[in-house]
Copies of this chain bind each other. A is one copy, B any other.
Amino acid sequence: MATLDAPAVSPPQAAVAIDPPTARAWLGQMLLIRRFEEKAAELYSAGKIRGFLHLSIGEEAVSVAAIGALTERDNVVSTYREHGHALVRGVPPGAVMAELFGKANGSSRGRGGSMHIFDAGRRFYGGNAIVAGGLPLAVGLALADRLRQRDAITACLFGDGAVAEGEFHESLNLASLWRLPVLFLCENNYYAMGTALGRHQAETDISLKGAAYRIPSAAVDGMDLLATTAAVRQAVDQVRSDGGPVLLECRTYRFRAHSMYDPELYRSKEEIDQWKLRDPITLFRARIERDGILTGAELEALDREAREATDRAVAFAEAGEWEPVADLLKDVYAREPPCA
């Protein structure tokens, strides 16, 4: 894309180099997310996973590009559709799957489930089930870094539906007013549950909204891993160099239902099939094959590894213990016994 101020989707300036190790890493991560979530869906039907389960299948390129562009020092604030973000961030698949099971060996000791994956050590600050609820938190993490002159940025991921919430507006204004290093990354999958973008946004080009806060903004084709990687890197660089926020809209699509409860009355099979033609994994694999970066055998192997990693994650989750009921009130407060 031309400059971060350019609202329209445009090809990245610098083509992203992909040598075999990079291709392996990125495709491997996308495949891991895909297989992991396909398995999670099965396990939901099997009753091993309960409550809400939101899959990001179709949106893997955004997870890989966005989280991949960060350093360990950076902070990540995510949503309830965060398995991919967590996995790319390095939260062990087993800990994520165990969290989905609600087991004590889960990343949040099983208390949060699918919507509340936390990993403080990896600066992965959840896993928030209140739409747009994470944006103020991200502003605060960035404010702390600014006040301590800590050299790090905060990546805040949210969906297109979150853009309608007042907290989007308040948070972007605050971050820009105070010049805080926040990458506001909108995963625009064109639906907020069953409400299409055009039915919840008067201005459907989300990247145009940054101007109201003097925030440099851009949009990118979120199904194209290389374009998205280039756009995110450029955005991250700008946040680091300017110190102020950037808004990046990644245009993508959710191949599965919103959650396991969703009968998908609001969109047609045709529409979904159209988008599946642009499956980020298929596109990236095609590119790799075309350029002969990896062999067919290597591609096979990557898929096998993703399936095996998923199976190991499930085994880890199965082997986990349930947190004892006696610990129910533990950690409501730092000091026991809980008060009142």
Contact = CB atoms under 8 A, between A and B. Distances in A.
Contacts of A177: 199-202
A153 to B, nearest CB: 18
A212 B215 contact: no
A176 B209 CA distance: 14
A interface secondary structure, majority:
helix
Contacts of A213: 202-203
Interface in A190-217: 199-203, 208-209, 211-215
Contact of A164 (B165, B170, B199): B170
A240 interface: no
A212 B214 contact: no
Contact of A202 (B201, B203, B214): B214
Contacts of A167: 166
Given A166-B166, A166-B168, A169-B170, 15 more contacts: A164-B173, A165-B166, A166-B167, A168-B169, A172-B202, A173-B202, A177-B201, A177-B202, A202-B213, A202-B215, A203-B214, A208-B211, A208-B212, A211-B211, A212-B212
Given A169-B169, A208-B211, A211-B212, A176 B164 contact: no
Nearest to A202: B176
Number of this chain's copies in the assembly equals: 2
A246 to B, nearest CB: 13
Contacts of A164: 170, 173
Contact of A209 (B199, B200, B212): B212
A203 B208 CA distance: 14
Contacts of A165: 166, 170
Nearest to A245: B202
Contacts of A215: 202
9 smallest beta-carbon distances between A and B, as pairs: A166-B166, A169-B169, A176-B202, A177-B202, A212-B212, A202-B213, A209-B212, A203-B214, A202-B214
A166 to B, nearest CB: 2
A216 to B, nearest CB: 12
Q: Which of A166, A212, A215 has the most CB of B within 10 A?
A: A212
Q: Which of A172, A200, A202 has the most CB of B within 10 A?
A: A202
A170 B170 CA distance: 11
Interface string A169-192: 110110011000000000000000
